[in-house]
A and B are shown apart, each in its own frame.
Chain A
């Protein structure tokens, strides 16, 4: 079995508990996070405000005026004991079009240099593979997956970069960010741009790609990017969901 035999319960300030299931990037650990979330949400524990599933831990946000921390951890341990019975929803596979390099991915050359490879080799490694989504977070539900070697050896940048646009395809610290849902800062390497949208605040849930889903990158040209971007902005296209035989069916 991967991960810890029993979860670790970490204190995160005076309103949070992190239920940590392991310290590695493994689908099995992540599925335990997802299961714990489903179990906790259905338990409707008084004093629990909300939870936030991440790669290898479930963050539980609570109201300390309604439940004490000791009692909360006791209750969470009980729920942890019951979570094996939970069945998770089936995952979907999304095709993610991306333009690599140039002004669409200003860090691609730097990444190639750091890894002693060509940009083409980086693109070849990054695209065409199915990736499992571990979490959605940061701002606007940035979706993360495990990147294959040798890309996984890149650390995060020491000082974050302010002002990266929406759609930026990012890698760092063993992870990929499918594409940035909203413009903003990042400490990751920016290698491409996708014309898709992840963030739909008017919808519930407000995200296209959710934890447990899978994605596959498809390298496209600048022209195709502009075309898809226009369609996405006009609300005519969200993304392609591919079925098991890889034939495509448009969403919406």
Chain B
């Protein structure tokens, strides 16, 4: 059998995990969906190396890892610009790259965004746990149930690699590449507990700027800003809290739950972030500013269809090198 060892972790970075598109059908048992925080960036990274869009890839956070290639690979860097380099030479993002055995992937200063993705041909070979390879550190699922550490060796999926190597090289065009700033406009659908808030509370939520506090990770972001007023109480009978849920506890400060968020919660939810903007929020960092904009469910579904069409179009509009 061919040796499928692909990458050795020389330095783990701040918080580096393996993610695919997430774990479904187990929310009823308290299992978070998890998966890539920025699904767009993960899907594109996979397409760039010839994978199916949902293969497992590396998600790095602000400070990227240092990885040694243990075989010849195709890789792609997407998401946050954490100054990726190959053997110390700056590497372009959002395109297919080839690296040789022994070459080292590293990252430098974070330039924009928060989470970077590194996809490799074939995808990362982790055992499927409840249908997914994603690492969820809070419930110790996926891989070794923890973030990557120095000395970990990642293997590539043999079947996927053979197929992926037949695909052409791609480079995304400038207009297909998202731009990440530090002040974010996040579209939300109000509810399901908007009736728990006063009119003034809803106005405050929709017309104020909130700061992302240092308590921001894959589970969710705690925000700080003008207090959102409840009618009477903040508590509800615990119900489902899908990713994007904006909970407002009694202190009036919103908490946005994200990929690793819990499956249920007992604080009233003023709204839920649209799927497409959850990808954007994945690139927001502590200290960044957030403003909420109300959209209808039909508008949100329209955005989702647009997003799908643009992803479907990517393999056609890539420039072959």
Contact B237 A201 (CB under 8 A): no
- Residue A57 at the B interface, CB < 8 A? yes
- Residue A194 at the B interface, CB < 8 A? no
Contact A139 B139 (CB under 8 A): yes
Contact B304 A65 (CB under 8 A): yes
Contact B27 A50 (CB under 8 A): yes
- The answer to whether A55 and B239 touch (CB under 8 A), given A201-B139, A207-B30, is yes
The chain A residue sitting closest to B273, CB to CB, is A13
* Residue among A49, A65, A69, A138 with the highest chain B CB neighbour number at 10 A: A138
- Residue A179 at the B interface, CB < 8 A? no
Please report the C-alpha to C-alpha distance between residue A119 and residue B28 in the assembled complex, in whole angstroms: 34
Contact A137 B191 (CB under 8 A): no
> Please, which residues of chain A bring their CB within 8 A of the CB of B239?
18, 54-57, 59
CB contact between B266 and one of A11, A181, A187 (< 8 Å): that residue: A187
Contact B263 A156 (CB under 8 A): no
Instruction: Assign chain B's interface to a size class.
Output: 35 or more
Interface flags for A122-149 (1: CB within 8 Å of B; 0: not) read 0000000000000111111110100000
Please report the C-alpha to C-alpha distance between residue A141 and residue B300 in the assembled complex, in whole angstroms: 30
> Please, which residues of chain A bring their CB within 8 A of the CB of B29?
136, 141, 205-207
Interface flags for B215-227 (1: CB within 8 Å of A; 0: not) read 0000000000000
Contact A184 B249 (CB under 8 A): no
Interface residues on chain A, number (Cβ under 8 Å): 54
- Residue B297 at the A interface, CB < 8 A? yes
A 136-193 contacts with B by CB, 8 A: 136-142, 144, 155-156, 158-160, 172-175, 181-182, 184, 187
- Residue B305 at the A interface, CB < 8 A? yes
The chain A residue sitting closest to B145, CB to CB, is A201
The segment from B88-96, B166-174, B240-248 that touches chain A is: B240-248
> Please, which residues of chain B bring their CB within 8 A of the CB of A159?
249, 251
Please report the C-alpha to C-alpha distance between residue A5 and residue B301 in the assembled complex, in whole angstroms: 30
Contact A15 B235 (CB under 8 A): no
CB contact between A55 and one of B32, B237, B272 (< 8 Å): that residue: B237
A62 → chain B closest CB, angstroms: 11
List chain A positions with a Cβ less than 8 A from chain B. 10-16, 18, 23-25, 37, 49-57, 59, 61, 64-65, 68-69, 135-142, 144, 155-156, 158-160, 172-175, 181-182, 184, 187, 199, 201, 205-207
16 pairs of residues in contact across A and B, judged by CB atoms under 8 Å = A10-B191, A11-B191, A12-B240, A12-B242, A12-B245, A52-B240, A59-B242, A65-B304, A137-B30, A137-B264, A139-B263, A158-B250, A158-B251, A187-B266, A199-B139, A201-B140
List chain B positions with a Cβ less than 8 A from chain A. 24-32, 129-130, 138-141, 189, 191-192, 233-235, 237-240, 242, 244-245, 249-251, 262-267, 269, 272-275, 297, 300-301, 304-305, 308
Ranked nearest first, the 4 interchain pairs of A and B with the lowest CB-CB distance are A137-B264, A13-B272, A59-B240, A141-B30
